[in-house]
Amino acid sequence: MNNKNLSIISYITLIGWLIAYFSGKEKADSLLKYHLRQSLGLMIVSIAFNIIIRILISITPALAFLGMAGLLILVFWVLGIINAANGAEKPVPLFGKMFEDKFAFIG
């Protein structure tokens, strides 16, 4: 697989990220490294967001409407996939800038 396809795959669950990371480890270019960082960062934000929302909902069930904010994270996933498919190194909105220089193990 080429790096563009691996960049797209990196956004599709943790298994997709692992496949992209290990398959492209030797021949990784800046596009793949960039999207590996973005997708890993988005996964971490998504997990943290879901934990916080679940705690808030369990404490105050009236806040159940906050669960719909998870759709915003889904939109960010789709935007990341679109950027990877276009070969663009654009950050994911709101969170992407934070992850551009993080995760040194990626490269």
Per residue in 34-75, pLDDT (tens digit) is: 999 999 999 999 999 999 999 999 999 988 888 888 889 999
For the chain, what percent of residues have pLDDT higher than 90? Answer: 58
Classify the phi-psi angles of 65: left when phi > 0, otherwise alpha if psi is within -120 to 50, otherwise beta. alpha
pLDDT at 96: 85
Structural domain for 22, as ranges: 3-106
Question: Quick one: which H or E segment has residue 7?
Answer: helix 3-9
Q: Can you give the pTM of this predicted structure?
A: 0.87
Q: What is the tally of structural domains in the chain?
A: 1
